[in-house]
Structure 1
Amino acid sequence: MHNLKKLVWALLIVPVIGFAQVSEYQLENGLKLLVKPDNRAPVVVSQVWYKVGSSYEHNGITGISHILEHMMFKGTENLGPNEFSQIIAENGGSQNAFTGRDYTAYFQTLEKERLEISFRLEAERMRKLIIDDAELLKEREVVAEERRMRTDDNPRSLLREAMNAMAFMNSPYHHPVIGWMNDINHYDPEDLREWYQMWYAPNNATVVVVGDVDPDEVYQLAQKYFGPLAPEQLATVKPQVEVPQRGLRTLQLKAPAELPYLMMGWKVPVVTTAVEEWEPYALDVLAGILDGGASSRFSRELVRGQQVAAGVSAYNSAFSRLDDIFTIAATPAQGKTIEDVKQAVFAQLDKVKTEPVTEAELQRVKTQVIASSVYQLDSVFYQAMQLGMLETVGLDWRLVDSYPDKISAITAEQVQQVAEKYFIEDGLTIAELIPVATDNASPRPTSGDPHAR
């Protein structure tokens, strides 16, 4: 009854706030502007998204998009090192940045009357960044330490990195976002200057503004600050389609850890690449059926029922720029092995292939998706992030509003079809963490600016 009430409430409220008008503008220099009013509080979120991330990089400079994100706070022609952050703080705002495989984004949250400050600062560093040799040397050390703390000293992160590198042979998703350590240690200033010049331009950027604003006034501000910036001759992005996998790939990684860990990844299409438009949504539903709370199959069957796993998760990334992987990860329960968990997961997947999921399971997942879509609207930041991410990976931002409908349209037969089609050995990569004795050393403290990924 509680879930039914939540679903009814969600269906009623989504048309009210989910489909709020988004105004789209295009400046003459190619910059795209998306503005979504949300007048519930006198605040505004401003985000600048660039179509560049680790999937645009090549061997030898992996991670360069991430370190450039760090350097964007280190000074421009008219701003000193870290002055950007100081100005935002002095105006009562917060700011940060993040780098992904398909994008790099910068954002500020401010009182609504201070949006102009954000635009002025972002326009300044869009074309007038200074790459200082000494600052780069310091930031290389920061990023190297970040990599050690978040990946090299984290066995599960290390396993995920190794699995991606094995699963993707020629797709740029082979590269870790933070970069390989050898590449980090050998960036030179000219590498970053070339990368900045190549990708940081108005015709490769989308500005997203959500908050208590008037769209036309925001457009006039964008014209004032971003309009005079010159566009750039952007590099041609070559298609890098992953070669077909023709057999099971396995790896074992030995690292200091207390428990073994299993990761399994199957090649799947995403919304940008799918021939059958519904397939990525059916895979999302399948992820929810397997791992969508206490009543999901993994929790019910493998954790509480068979007690073969201490924890099992399933995740599908439907909104990437390139084909991705559907990932299942698990920790064996005490007294159980990686092989025990692996066979239990295979048995659950075989069941999905041979028996349609129940109507109750479908409705549970659909209820969760609709409710989640509504709750996310409480955050102006997340509203902006959805718009920017979709636009930057090459999709229509209007998919923000259509996602619940796409999920609601998925049938049990479609879930069964994607399981049969994609959960096959020829598309599978299995990675196992083999614990080795630790030296009980205390982890080293990290360092770096708050915008560090």
Structure 2
Amino acid sequence: MVSSTGMNKAARSLCLLLLIILFPASFRAAPVQETAPNTLGFEFQEHRLRNGLRVILSVDKRLPLVTIVVAYGAGTIREQPGQEGLAYLLENLMFRGSENISPLQHIGFVQKVGGDLNAMTTPDRTQFFETLPSNSLPLALWLESDRMKSLAITPAAIEITRTDLIREHQERLASDPSLGGFAWFDALLYPDDFYGHPLINAGDGMKALTEKEILNFHGTYYVPNNAVLCIVGNIDIAGTRELVARYFDTIPPGYGVPPLPVPVFRQDGEVVRYLSDILASSSGFHLGFRFYPLQTGDAYSLKILEYLLLKGDTSRLRHRLLRRDLTAHHLSGGLEIRGGVLGLKIFCLNNNADMVERAKKAILSEIDRLGRNPVSPDELAKAKKLFKMDYLRSQSTNLGRALFLVDAALSGKPMNFLGEELDKYMKVSPPNLMGLINRHFTPQNRVILELGKK
């Protein structure tokens, strides 16, 4: 006698067989997805504290050292019109003392244990980093948490810091007059109320800042839920998580951190301007392209294009201007990111106005050639090889790895796919480059600032 259970199984099997015969497409095996190789060469962990602080930890036991990076989404893009220099001022005020630390004592504590430290402000962030013996990790976390929680912004600290920064900037301008052109150029390349802000410019904006503006900026952006803490080095993950929680978990979060402003660029055609009072004894120019909005994959293509044009002695522009045509005696530049906007900036120094014209035409000609004719496999492979070396080298130190992870976090990249990022650069093709150039390298996105006498 056959049981009812057996009959049910047989019936189900027969039904399944009939379905496969009648609808074979529905039962085909799913295609195997190719998985991009993980090229990071290191592991990391990420978590958030209750106050919103984003914490990234990565172990590297090669040396008894640890690097700590604290980055705030508090760059120059966050400044209001007329507040130029505010983000840079706050960066320096962060060393002027807090509840338990005297002015400049933060520097002394780190240097006393054999460590070094620095800070920098960019358009979209301000970050602080220190490398010191790994057994001094609690010291570094105490220092960073104390100024995150209780920075002492006093009228005296503001005036001392502001005066020092403006004086140092004026001294740099006096020693290298060409520096003044960079702020002018940025304002032209990013014609927007926020994205074209200079770090300090002539100092007029910084001079006019009120204590209230400074306190409001600090209270809005120097908060845990607008920050990333990254620790890389000879650490124990469990113990480090406990230390981080002990020092940072009780810091109150900020409220209403605004999103980055949406850029509005007002430019109908190519912009060409002249500054005759800079480089009075020679000539030169800035040339740049702005890229916004970007399509998927454009950022990877732009990075490879940067290497084709500017990186290495045999790159197209360096070879042509400095070695073949001899139209320039200095050429520098590269790709930069300001929020979701990318820019390719080129700075060139020439002997006279005639050489300026020839160099400009050569640059535009090389870009045009890349847009019309596919780059050769050998040239593309060479650029990718150089980029890959730089990409991997940048992650070979504790500081380089920490900055890489912080950049990924603040840029909104999916952290669980970082290991596949290099493969995306390596897959950039000649059609990708040609499409990019034809879409973005237009007069509406191009700016030229000439320096010196015509």
Fold match by TM threshold 0.5: yes
Q: Offset at 1:115?
A: 0.5
**Secondary structure of 2:276 counterpart:** strand
Q: Which residue of structure 2 lines up, in the alignment, with residue 253 of structure 1? A: 275
Specify which of 440, 443, 447 is matched with residue 425 of structure 1. 443
Specify which of 146, 153, 158 is matched with residue 136 of structure 1. 158
Q: Offset at 1:308?
A: 2.1
Q: Which moved more, 1:325-334 or 1:188-197?
A: 325-334
In 2, Cα distance between equivalents of 1:122 and 1:198 = 18
Alignment partner of 1:172 is 2:197:
no
User: Deviation per CA, 1:255-291, whole angstroms, max 9, x where unpaired?
Assistant: 353421111111114xxxx552211211111111112
In 1, Cα distance between equivalents of 2:145 and 2:67 = 16
Distance 1:332 1:180, change over 3 A: closer
Distance 1:152 1:53, change over 3 A: farther
Specify which of 254, 278, 288 is matched with residue 265 of structure 1. 288
Q: Offset at 1:90?
A: 2.0
Alignment partner of 1:345 is 2:363:
yes
TM-score, normalisation: structure 2: 0.86
Any conservation in 1 of the 2:335–2:345 contact (CA below 8 Å)?
Answer: yes
Paired residues for 1:10-89 under 5 Å: 18-89=40-111
Q: Which moved more, 1:166-175 or 1:103-112?
A: 166-175
Any conservation in 2 of the 1:44–1:210 contact (CA below 8 Å)?
Answer: yes
**Secondary structure of 1:173 counterpart:** coil
Give me the CA root mean square deviation. 2.2
Residue 371 of structure 2 aligns to which amino acid in structure 1? K
Q: Which moved more, 1:101-110 or 1:91-100?
A: 91-100
User: Deviation per CA, 1:215-270, whole angstroms, max 9, x where unpaired?
Assistant: 2221111110001111111332353222353111111112353421111111114x
Q: Which residue of structure 1 lines up, in the alignment, with residue 134 of structure 2? A: 112
In 2, Cα distance between equivalents of 1:401 and 1:155 = 43
In 1, Cα distance between equivalents of 2:358 and 2:285 = 11
Q: Which residue of structure 1 lines up, in the alignment, with residue 423 of structure 2? A: 405
User: Deviation per CA, 1:13-56, whole angstroms, max 9, x where unpaired?
Assistant: x9798231110011111111000111110100011111111000
Q: Offset at 1:412?
A: 0.9
Alignment partner of 1:217 is 2:246:
no
Distance 1:359 1:171, change over 3 A: farther
In 2, Cα distance between equivalents of 1:373 and 1:153 = 34
In 2, Cα distance between equivalents of 1:128 and 1:266 = 42
Q: Offset at 1:390?
A: 2.3
**Secondary structure of 1:337 counterpart:** helix
Q: Offset at 1:419?
A: 1.5
Q: Offset at 1:372?
A: 1.5
In 1, Cα distance between equivalents of 2:101 and 2:402 = 27
Q: Offset at 1:376?
A: 2.1
In 2, Cα distance between equivalents of 1:275 and 1:261 = 30
**Secondary structure of 1:309 counterpart:** coil
In 2, Cα distance between equivalents of 1:401 and 1:222 = 26
Alignment partner of 1:291 is 2:313:
no
Q: Which moved more, 1:357-366 or 1:344-353?
A: 344-353
Residue 291 of structure 2 aligns to which amino acid in structure 1? V
User: Deviation per CA, 1:55-101, whole angstroms, max 9, x where unpaired?
Assistant: 00012222111111111111112221112212222222212211111
Q: Which residue of structure 2 lines up, in the alignment, with residue 187 of structure 1? A: 209
**Secondary structure of 1:69 counterpart:** helix
Q: Offset at 1:336?
A: 4.3
Specify which of 378, 387, 390 is matched with residue 396 of structure 2. 378
The percentage of counterpart residues that share the same residue type is: 23
Paired residues for 1:294-443 under 5 Å: 294-317=313-336, 319-332=337-350, 336-397=354-415, 400-434=418-452
Q: Offset at 1:172?
A: 1.5
User: Deviation per CA, 1:298-357, whole angstroms, max 9, x where unpaired?
Assistant: 23323222222223344122x441313212222235784211111122221221122111
Any conservation in 1 of the 2:99–2:150 contact (CA below 8 Å)?
Answer: yes
In 2, Cα distance between equivalents of 1:249 and 1:16 = 43
In 1, Cα distance between equivalents of 2:129 and 2:311 = 31
Q: Which residue of structure 2 lines up, in the alignment, with residue 230 of structure 1? A: 252
Q: Offset at 1:386?
A: 1.1
Residue 349 of structure 1 aligns to which amino acid in structure 2? I
Distance 1:211 1:356, change over 3 A: same
Q: Which residue of structure 2 lines up, in the alignment, with residue 5 of structure 1? A: none
In 2, Cα distance between equivalents of 1:362 and 1:238 = 35
User: Deviation per CA, 1:202-224, whole angstroms, max 9, x where unpaired?
Assistant: 11111000001122221111110
Q: Offset at 1:191?
A: 2.4
User: Deviation per CA, 1:424-449, whole angstroms, max 9, x where unpaired?
Assistant: 1121111011159xxxxxxxxxxxxx
Distance 1:97 1:356, change over 3 A: same
Structure 2: gaps of 5 or more residues: 1-35
